[in-house]
Amino acid sequence: MSLTPAPRLRSRHLLSIADLDPSEVDLILDTAVAMKEIGTRTIKKVPALRGRTVVNLFFEASTRTRLSFELAEKRLSADTMGITAAGSSVTKGETLADTARTIEAMSPDLIVIRHAASGAPHLLSTICRAGIVNAGDGTHEHPTQALLDALTIRERKGRLAGLKVAIIGDLQHSRVLRSNVLLLTKMGAEVRACGPATLIPLGLTALGVHVTTSIDEAVTGADVVMMLRVQHERMHGMFLPSLREYFSLFGLTPARLTRAAGDVIVMHPGPMNRGVEIDSAVADGPWSVILDQVANGVAVRMAVLYLLAGEDEA
């Protein structure tokens, strides 16, 4: 692969899908396709970010996002450092703003942050000169997840515009939902959202989403079914009568999938609650592209880092 000098996104941060126009979404996805080729080589490394420093701040648990950002940074030859909440001075009471000022004093080029507080990446962008990449903030957004989901859909369906996408599960607590709704509607897909009435956030309809509490209605004719995790850790109160009842009303089973388009694909951002939002027969079945999503996460994060901080030929 030969990378010409990096085209740029309009912003030097990736805080929200709302900040991208459709041509920028296409640019990231097209760049990710080029980045995938690097992952097929014997030596999976290019010098696109050589001399750049990336700091990974993961103040919330993560397997996929953290590992794929780290792998993306290594494949682009960036110098990387990382801390988690447990291993940082946050445990001694340091505020996020003071942590940001401390990191800024070391002149990184990019900071990747996951934080339980919605808006934490935005706060960093007001303090730091470094580009900020949102790796998931509270219930607000997870932009690189939506981008890797879009790449996975585009690979399988050849397009995003005109597709019927059903997003089902714990809508209330899902940053993945919000980022996907913003991206998919921006790119011309038809989005349906389905969940229990207690887990439907206000304002979805205003974003152009058809909202229903019937999983059968949501799945009927769908080209893509995206299941969302029941986020027990963000629930402070009785949102669900029982997990058994949740599965019987909202769990995705092979029987329910028969209502979807014949070539439907099933997605899940992970981690999954098998037997709660998704039957193992679906998660491991022929419809599932869940591990493709994980693989595409590396390429999309390479693309984002490169477009935000790359300058020279790779």
Number of residues that bind ligand CP (CB under 6 A): 11
Pick one of 8, 27, 47, 62: the residue that binds ligand CP (CB under 6 A): 62
For ligand CP, give the closer residue by CB, 148 or 264: 148
Q: What is the DSSP string of 125-161?
A: HHH-SSEEEEEEETTTB-HHHHHHHHHHHHHHHS-ST
Minimum CB distance to ligand CP, residue 163 (Å): 21
Task: Report DSSP state, residue 278.
Answer: B
Pick one of 12, 64, 234, 259: the residue that binds ligand CP (CB under 6 A): 64
Place of tokens 């790119």: 187
Place of tokens 């940053």: 175
The answer to whether 65 contacts ligand CP (rule: CB under 6 A) is yes
Q: Which residues contact 30 (CB under 8 A, 6 or more apart)?
A: none
Which phi and psi angles does 134 have, rounded to 5°? -80, 115
Q: Look at residues 207, 214, 220, 227 and name the one whose alpha carbon lies nearest to residue 268.
A: 227
Minimum CB distance to ligand CP, residue 175 (Å): 9
Minimum CB distance to ligand CP, residue 221 (Å): 27
Q: Which stretch binds ligand CP (CB under 6 A): 9-17, 34-42, 181-189, 267-275?
A: 267-275
Q: Which stretch binds ligand CP (CB under 6 A): 1-9, 42-50, 236-244, 263-271?
A: 263-271
Pick one of 108, 195, 269, 310: the residue that binds ligand CP (CB under 6 A): 269
The answer to whether 8 contacts ligand CP (rule: CB under 6 A) is no
Site mask for ligand CP (CB under 6 A), range 119-138, x = bound: -----------------x--
Q: What six digits make up the tokens of 4? A: 């010409």
The answer to whether 139 contacts ligand CP (rule: CB under 6 A) is no
Q: Where are the alpha helices (DSSP H) in the chain?
A: 22-38, 64-75, 96-104, 120-127, 143-157, 175-186, 215-219, 243-250, 254-257, 280-283, 290-309
Q: What six digits make up the tokens of 62? A: 């993560």
Minimum CB distance to ligand CP, residue 68 (Å): 8
Contact footprint for ligand CP (CB under 6 A): 62-66, 136, 142, 145, 269-271
